């Protein structure tokens, strides 16, 4: 029997999405689940378990409270560690034994050379990540003081503009992300609407794709790493992931993130990659702080859109859980692939493949189609749009890599070899019916990049009407693609962040 007798017709605004919600949700406490997930459930037809669901921020006409930046220590100011006192308890138990943490401290701190800054930074990351809740603030304080005490060979502070922040992720995000998994199983197994599925030993009842969405609940890599690596291969932050969020120590300036020589034995078997990099664009501590605040604010809005069931109402107002389930996975996958692009500096072939994969994922998110993304005019237009919407201080941190991506796309055109097919800034290719077609260098470059992207299945191509065109393009280019081309998905990721409402329209069911 339903605990909600009678039929109630909603009289509030028609935003949100209507769904049959199982009455056993949250141990037969649907209002309790709604409060925890910061959603608003409006009863529509309770005997039929029908509710209209929207985000609490939409219902209350306010900004969401999902991601928040806490400033612990501004550059040149004393830390306010009390700002971390109200963090909620961890919902995930630590799995690393205390003895292992103690062994790593001995290895990286006690037995390491005082000049080994990298060992110290590795320990700071571990200590922040694995400290129990009741020791976290002390671990953060110790990490901050350790960084503050780093000096140059001349005895000057290595990080004179050190700052500390905490990016807080609300637990509501975890439950919002879980909701479509529950609803999808109910949709696939209608009998579970009235009766909760039984627990199976060793498995989560609603565990669909949980390993594909771990960043949202644990590491936040997909959501924050593109910010921290916005000047890759230079880095400007040291971080430690917590169940409640991410501790961030801003170094106040970019530092080289990789060396030319192999640092690990396995790297001797990797391609060397570029050994020289353009000097990072100068950025100030104030600009870094502005970028952190902007990114947290935009991520707050974007995740509100992505996890709001109301985003996924079809034309009749019905909730489509599969749409939310798939789009959440796609959004995280896009961030993960962009993270991988920014991290993989040695293996250029792998990096380019990751970039192609990231562009495909962004197309799946309906952010930009691949063929459009690799057009120079579209890339320039996107860069101009993002530049116009970003505050100047934020643009100073976020846009240098995006500009390098656009320049690399321009330089891709330089690889065409003058021949009977290529002359006068144009490329002639075979066309259907035995005719030929003249392509601009921009068009030829876009089609050539699609050939490379499709070469994951080999270079033989498909035996279709465009086969001869692809053969001519493949033989007409040197194959040199500037390494910075891999940064192109990062540009379109920024375009997603600058205007979350555009994303909302694109995520809606067709």
pLDDT tens-digit readout, 168-227: 999 999 999 999 999 999 999 999 999 988 887 777 878 888 888 888 888 899 999 999
Alpha helices in 344-487 (DSSP H): 348-364, 370-373, 376-389, 392-411, 441-454, 467-475
Q: Is residue 47 within 8 Å of residue 193, measured between CB atoms?
A: no
Cα dist from 367 to 364, 379, 420, whole Å: 8, 13, 38
Is 51 exposed, middle or buried (CB count within 10 Å of its CB: 0-12, 13-18, 19+)? Answer: buried
Q: How large is the average pLDDT for residues 43-48?
A: 96
pLDDT at 163 over 90: yes
What does the pLDDT read at residue 273? 67
What letters, b where the CB count within 10 A reaches 16 and e where it falls short, cover 286-310? ebbbbbbbbbbebbbbbbbbbbbbb
Q: Which residue has the higher pLDDT, 353 or 100?
A: 353
Q: What is the pLDDT of residues 314-323, one digit of tens each?
A: 999 999 999 9
Q: What is the pLDDT of residues 459-493, one digit of tens each?
A: 876 767 788 999 999 999 999 999 999 999 999 99
Structure tokens at 390: 């970003």
Q: Considering only CA atoms, which of 220, 257, 210, 217 is closest in space to residue 237?
A: 257
What does the pLDDT read at residue 123? 81
What does the pLDDT read at residue 488? 98
pLDDT band at 80 (very low <50, low <70, confident <90, very high): very high
- Compute the distance between CA of residue 398 and CA of residue 144 in angstroms, rounded to an integer: 25
- Compute the distance between CA of residue 480 and CA of residue 451 in angstroms, rounded to an integer: 14
Q: What is the pLDDT of residues 228-270, one digit of tens each?
A: 999 999 999 999 999 899 999 999 999 887 776 777 777 777 7
Going by C-beta distance under 8 Å and a sequence separation of 6 or more, which residues neighbour residue 246? 166, 167, 169, 220, 224, 239, 240
Q: 3-state SS of the chain: helix, strand, coil percent to 5?
A: 55, 15, 35
Q: DSSP letter string over 467-495? A: HHHHHHHHHTB-----GGGGGHHHHHHHH
pLDDT at 144 over 80: yes
What does the pLDDT read at residue 13? 40
pTM as predicted: 0.91
Q: What is the pLDDT of residues 391-428, one digit of tens each?
A: 999 999 999 999 999 999 999 999 999 999 999 999 99
What does the pLDDT read at residue 408? 97
Cα dist from 405 to 228, 277, 345, whole Å: 17, 14, 15
**DSSP for residue 369:** -
Q: Is residue 49 within 8 Å of residue 193, measured between CB atoms?
A: yes
Is 114 exposed, middle or buried (CB count within 10 Å of its CB: 0-12, 13-18, 19+)? Answer: exposed
- Compute the distance between CA of residue 364 and CA of residue 304 in angstroms, rounded to an integer: 19
- Give helix 321-343 / helix 348-364 axis angle, nearest 10°: 160
Q: What is the pLDDT of residues 105-133, one digit of tens each?
A: 777 776 777 777 777 788 888 888 888 89
What does the pLDDT read at residue 461? 67
Q: Is residue 379 within 8 Å of residue 369, measured between CB atoms?
A: no
Q: Which residue has the higher pLDDT, 146 or 386?
A: 386
Going by C-beta distance under 8 Å and a sequence separation of 6 or more, which residues neighbour residue 413? 376, 441, 442, 444, 445
pLDDT at 7 over 50: no
Cβ–Cβ contacts within 10 Å for residue 364, how many?
A: 15
């Amino acid at each position: 029997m339903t605990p909600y007798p009678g039929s109630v017709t909603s009289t509030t605004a028609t935003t949100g999405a209507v769904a049959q919600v199982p009455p056993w949700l949250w141990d037969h406490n649907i209002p309790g689940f709604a409060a925890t997930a910061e959603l608003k459930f409006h009863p529509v037809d309770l005997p039929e378990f029908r509710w209209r669901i929207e985000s609490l921020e939409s219902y209350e006409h306010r900004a969401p409270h999902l991601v928040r930046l806490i400033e612990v220590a501004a550059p040149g100011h004393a830390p306010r560690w009390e700002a971390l006192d109200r963090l909620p308890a961890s919902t995930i138990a630590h799995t690393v034994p205390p003895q292992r943490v103690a062994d790593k401290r001995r290895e990286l701190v006690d037995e390491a050379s005082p000049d080994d800054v990298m060992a110290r930074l590795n320990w700071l990351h571990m200590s922040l990540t694995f400290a129990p809740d009741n020791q976290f603030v002390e671990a953060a304080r110790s990490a901050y003081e350790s960084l503050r005490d780093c000096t140059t060979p001349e005895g000057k502070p290595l990080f004179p503009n050190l700052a500390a922040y905490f990016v807080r992720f609300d637990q509501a995000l975890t439950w919002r992300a879980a909701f479509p998994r529950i609803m999808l199983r109910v949709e696939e197994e209608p009998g579970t609407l009235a009766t909760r599925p039984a627990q199976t030993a060793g498995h989560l009842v609603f565990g669909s794709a949980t390993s594909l969405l771990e960043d949202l609940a644990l590491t936040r890599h997909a959501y924050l790493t593109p910010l921290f690596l916005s000047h890759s291969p230079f880095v400007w932050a040291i971080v430690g992931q917590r169940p409640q969020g991410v501790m961030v120590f801003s170094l106040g300036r970019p530092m080289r993130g990789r060396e030319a020589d192999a640092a690990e034995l396995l790297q001797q078997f990797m391609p060397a990659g570029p050994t020289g990099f353009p000097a990072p664009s100068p950025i100030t501590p104030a600009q870094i702080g502005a970028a952190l605040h902007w990114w947290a604010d935009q991520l707050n809005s974007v995740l509100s859109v992505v996890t709001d069931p109301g985003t996924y109402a079809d034309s009749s107002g019905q909730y489509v859980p599969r749409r939310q389930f798939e789009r959440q996975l796609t959004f995280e996958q896009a961030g993960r692939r962009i993270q991988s692009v920014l991290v993989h500096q040695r293996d250029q072939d792998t990096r380019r493949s990751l970039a192609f994969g990231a562009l495909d994922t962004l197309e799946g998110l309906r952010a930009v189609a691949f063929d459009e993304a690799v057009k120079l005019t579209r890339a320039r237009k996107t860069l101009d749009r993002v530049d116009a919407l970003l505050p100047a201080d934020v643009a100073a941190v976020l846009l240098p890599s995006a500009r390098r991506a656009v320049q690399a796309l321009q330089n891709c055109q330089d690889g065409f070899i003058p021949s009977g097919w290529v002359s006068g800034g144009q490329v002639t290719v075979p066309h259907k019916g035995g005719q030929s077609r003249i392509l601009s260098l921009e068009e030829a470059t876009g089609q050539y990049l699609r050939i490379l992207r499709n070469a994951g299945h080999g270079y033989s191509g498909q035996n279709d009407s465009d086969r001869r065109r692809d053969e001519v393009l493949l033989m007409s280019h040197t194959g040199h693609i500037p390494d910075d081309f891999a940064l192109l998905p990062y540009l379109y990721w920024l375009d997603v962040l600058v205007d979350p409402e555009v994303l909302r329209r694109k995520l809606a069911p067709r």
